[in-house]
Chain A
Amino acid sequence: MVDLAHYAPLYAEGLLTALAMLILFAGLFMKSKSMMGYVSLVGLALSLFLVLTAKTGSIFFFDTVSVDPLSQFFKATFIVVSLLVVIASLSRYKESAGGDEFYALLLLATVGMMVVSSSIDLITLFVGFELASLSTYALAAFDKSRRNLEAAMKYFIFGSASSALMLFGFSLLYGMTGTTRISEIATTLTANLGPASLIALIFVIAGFAFKMALVPFHMWAPDTYEGAPSLVSALLAAGSKKMGFAAAFRVIFVAMVALRVEWYLAFAILAAITMTLGNIVAIWQNNVRRIFAYSSVAQAGYIAIAFVVVGAAGTLPNSAYVAQTGIAGGLLLILGHALMKTGAFIATAVVAYMVLREGKTDPDDISSYAGLSKRAPITAFCLLIFMFALAGIPPTAGYIGKFVLFGSAINAGLVWLAVLAIINSAISLYYYLRIIMYMYLRPATGPKIVEPKGYVAALVLTTIGVIWIGVNPQPFIDYAMQAAAVLLPH
């Protein structure tokens, strides 16, 4: 007889899993699918509450799962993203067949991410990883259009290949250390550093980098974000991408602390290439969702600076503080980017809705955004805010994230990286401004439309969030700092 109260901190996961099952089951009889939406909405809201109030600092299931500020931070982010997606999809998957599967998969994916974010054992981590991946593979193909399927296919092949790589890396790690507990790996790995360790490290990084979409492991991302249903793209860009970071933070920082120099170098290279390439390629795109895809590649590059900072911090006198600010910056940017990208993709969904109603094809082409400020003012304004936020214009979430992150880079003496980063954010301005130009400075190509309520609600909420973090960053920074502290050796 297990004492349920002991598992209180994990109620959120439990709730969502149960809900997913329930929805699938109910889906068999109930015709009204929108019901499911509201149910999962409530469920997510509830679990968000649970996550935020959960008592941190306890470990479960033969110490494979830990509930600590870091995990809660990520969980909160994931749930918020899913919440927004659900709200948006209330207008999208109202009566369409299989709406129930959509919500169920969404919830399962969320659970997978949550598990990853709090797992301190490679096994649970891998399982969570796969749970999230598998559900998102299915989601990517959800509308079964040609583009969906191509996107899903690429995502699937690429994803499973990389998770295989990751698994291989894990196996090597296990071979070298004889354990799958992250903390134990950390202690053992310091002992014997073989040449295999580097291979293992790179394989693991490759596995995570696929989710984080760091160049050159990003190539699935543009195609998938462009091809998949907008809302799923939102989930991928904002949610599962961050799961990669959640996993990488624990494994890299804690388990592989002995290989600090190696991963310092690796991420220095990756970050630099990623942000640069993401931005300069984005300049060329005319498909807005593809622009967002590349922009989120670039953003991943920024976030990856956190790894470099932590790596560089090792030798500094005040290494703890530097590393902490670095990770905190990364976390803040993760949170901010999650919101901004969710919003951005939801906005594209609105535009798609608008364009497809007119029977036109290719809804994501930038020309469809001409005069959006007149056709769909609310969407346009929210997208405007997201664009500026992504570009790092204050006072927005994007700015705060970059502020702390680049600051920590300077603090760690990584001037070259910081300079590269700001040059990149200047370049990125070009394509963000280009979208704004189309929305605000081009004549409208069609009549004003009524923006679907679900979308509007999601957009407005997101905008408020983005601005709120920008104007009142204090609590978020504190939260991020606590979360960051978890990863530092005590």
Chain B
Amino acid sequence: MISNAITLMIAVPLIGAVLCFAAKSQARIVALIASLVPLFISLQMYTGFDKTSKLMQFVESYNWVPSLGVKYTVGVDGIGMPLVLLSTIVSVLVVIYSWGEHDRANQFFALLLLNEVGVLGVFTSLDFFLFYIFWEIVLIPMFFLIGNWGGPRKSYAAIKFFIYTHIASLIMLLAIFGLYFTYRMPDGSRTFDMLTLIQATSDKVLFPPALINLIFAGLLFGFLVKMPAFPFHTWLPDAHVEAPTAGSVLLAALLLKMGGYGIFRVILPMLPNVDKMFVTVIAIIAVLSIVYGAFLALAQKDLKKMVAYSSVSHMGFVTLGAVAFTWLSIQGAMFQQFSHGLITCVLFMSAGTIQHTVGTRIIADLGGLADRMPKFAVLMLAGFMASLGLPGMSGFVAEFTVLAGSYATLPFYTLIVIFFSVAITAAYHLWSMQKVMFGPILPKFLDVHDAHTYEIASMTAFILLIILFGVQPALITDIMGTAAYQVMEPVKTLAQMGVI
């Protein structure tokens, strides 16, 4: 087992990014190597991971700013491990997918790597100070990806994305201060250690209801915006529509997951200690995100925008499963994070490939592409099927688990979701699929060629993973199951919290 695995995993892409800037022409190769190394490390970690332990693993901790109680502490548990795995996988495949990027390639790939650094940092850091730093660092590469390689309204989208999410993180930061200044270690010193602080919130004397609710709301806001959940989702469509394909993929597959991660890592353990009203609020937000997002997707004319809204809808399942707070639902929500991370990649890659092979993403202008791009059509179809929750693919497992788990505690909301989202989701996927791929090929597309090999390769890899985890979810749900127990340790169910 590698020592300092996590630090290494974060450091390698960072160095890789610098090298990429230097390596003018060979940047993509550097990038590939620099993203493969973390993948191997994370696989190593996965194999070495003790699936039954609720403790942090691979922990590294060094003093950083003693006078503020800031430590460099990293480690993974059942909550972080799957996402680390996801991040490394996605990063590699995205690099492969963008193999054909020649416009300032060195900067492009460097930014991809920087993004990986930030995301991995968020998923592994156990110190709020460190956590926040990575949380913010992630914005920068994405800002440049959108702003530099983006579409016509890239400036607007990039700035909106940056400012909107930055406000959210700052409010989160204030909430973190609330925790930090209220709690003192037994020896009187202060700490930014996440686990300690979160645990401390159960102290009713130290954290009177008014205070803890305020703090909780702040943190929640920070995470919900990243998720993104209704009504804080409006930065997402703009960012996605303008971003380059690789950017959208990373955005949807990894950045959104940061919000979910925050929910599991911070929000859920605090949930028992805060006002019960929050559960209702979050549940409503979740349901709205799912249903409203699905309807929005149905209304879109732009394929990519449709996919973007579909992520809003799917991430709603994460929120729902999380707040339902049963062992099964939490597990499902975690798995939804993982599976959506894989599926959405295929979706955005499809939209991207269509964009730069055909030249438009407007669904109405497309038609009969399957005729000219059969391989691609199969992959896209597979991706869409996965996204509409076809069994045998990871999406179904996740959503079924969430629903089955949530019904126990939030029957009403679950019913709404089942009734209004499942069919609608199928509707917009199939409708766009039929319009874009099937039917007679439009004359203007007669000379369209099939997608590039590297695009096909990376999409195929994703599909295979989706099927793998759809058929054998236990590979990852075992870990999540333990994590779910660990999250629920303070209190077992909402009923015991007096919510229902």
Contact = CB atoms under 8 A, between A and B. Distances in A.
Asked if A and B bind, the verdict is yes
B151 to A, nearest CB: 13
Nearest to A423: B167
Given A441-B147, A474-B67, A406 B174 contact: yes
A477 B147 contact: no
- Give the bracket for the number of chain B residues in contact with chain A: 20 to 34
A189 interface: no
A372 to B, nearest CB: 14
A426 B137 contact: no
A410 interface: yes
A393 B137 CA distance: 8
Chain A CB within 10 Å — which of B66, B147, B173 has the most?
B173
B23 interface: no
A415 B170 contact: no
Contacts of B139: 393
A422 B167 contact: yes
A410 B158 CA distance: 30
Contacts of A411: 177, 181
Contacts of B171: 419, 422
B57 interface: no
B140 A388 contact: yes
A453 B64 CA distance: 35
Interface string A382-413: 00000010000111000100011011001100
A422 B144 contact: no
A477 B170 contact: no
A162 interface: no
Chain A interface mostly: helix
A433 B163 CA distance: 9
Interface residues of A, number: 30
Contacts of A206: none
Interface in B48-76: 64-68
A437 B166 contact: no
A394 B177 contact: no
A425 interface: yes
Interface in B425-450: none
Contacts of B162: 429, 433
A98 interface: no
Interface in A410-439: 410-411, 415, 418-419, 422-423, 425-426, 429-430, 433-434, 437
Contacts of A481: 67
Contact of B140 (A393, A415, A426, A430): A393
Contacts of A477: 65, 67-68
Contact of A437 (B65, B147, B178, B214): B147
A410 B177 contact: yes
B154 interface: yes
A394 B136 contact: yes
A400 B132 CA distance: 12
B163 A415 contact: no
A314 interface: no
Contacts of B154: 441
B170 A407 contact: no
B174 A426 contact: no
A440 interface: yes
Contacts of A454: none
B170 A425 contact: yes
A473 interface: yes
A395 B159 CA distance: 20
A410 B148 CA distance: 37
A407 B177 contact: yes
A429 B163 contact: yes
Contacts of A440: 144, 147-148
Contacts of A434: 159
Contacts of B133: 394-395, 399
B420 interface: no
Interface string A351-386: 000000000000000000000000000000000000
A478 interface: yes
B155 interface: yes
Given A393-B136, A437-B147, A440-B144, A429 B177 contact: no
Given A394-B132, A430-B159, A474 B65 contact: yes
Interface in B138-157: 139-140, 143-144, 147-148, 154-155
B67 A426 contact: no
Nearest to B146: A441
A429 B163 CA distance: 7
Contacts of A399: 133, 136
B66 A426 contact: no
B180 interface: yes
Contacts of A415: 174, 214
B66 A410 contact: no
A407 B65 contact: no
Contacts of B65: 473-474, 477
Nearest to A392: B170
A394 B136 CA distance: 7
Contacts of B174: 406, 410, 415, 418-419, 422
A422 B174 CA distance: 9
A109 to B, nearest CB: 33
Nearest to A394: B133
Nearest to A409: B177
Contacts of A393: 136-137, 139-140
A426 B159 contact: no
Contacts of B67: 474, 477-478, 481
A404 B181 CA distance: 11
A415 B139 CA distance: 26
Interface in B175-204: 177-178, 180-181
Contacts of A473: 65, 68
A437 B173 CA distance: 26
Contact of A441 (B136, B148, B177, B214): B148
Contacts of B163: 426, 429-430, 433
B143 A433 contact: yes
Nearest to B64: A474
A429 B177 CA distance: 22
Nearest to B175: A410
B238 to A, nearest CB: 15
Nearest to B159: A433
Contact of A394 (B68, B137, B180): B137
Nearest to A474: B65
Contacts of A478: 67
Contact of B166 (A406, A418, A426): A426
Nearest to A393: B136
Contacts of A419: 171, 174
A426 B181 contact: no
A18 B265 CA distance: 61
A280 to B, nearest CB: 14
A473 to B, nearest CB: 6
Contacts of B140: 388, 393
Contacts of B166: 426, 429
A410 B214 CA distance: 12
A159 to B, nearest CB: 35
Nearest to A391: B166
Contacts of A430: 159, 163
Given A394-B137, A474-B67, A407 B147 contact: no
Given A426-B163, A433-B162, A477-B68, A406 B147 contact: no
Interface in A437-473: 437, 440-441, 473
Which 8 A-B residue pairs are closest in the complex by CB-CB distance?
A422-B170, A410-B177, A394-B133, A411-B181, A426-B167, A407-B177, A441-B147, A474-B65
Given A418-B174, A422-B170, 17 more contacts: A393-B139, A399-B133, A399-B136, A404-B68, A406-B173, A406-B177, A410-B178, A419-B174, A422-B173, A426-B170, A429-B162, A430-B163, A440-B147, A474-B64, A474-B66, A478-B67, A481-B67
8 contacts: A425-B170, A426-B163, A426-B166, A429-B166, A433-B162, A434-B159, A440-B144, A441-B148
Interface of A: 388, 393-395, 399, 403-404, 406-407, 410-411, 415, 418-419, 422-423, 425-426, 429-430, 433-434, 437, 440-441, 473-474, 477-478, 481
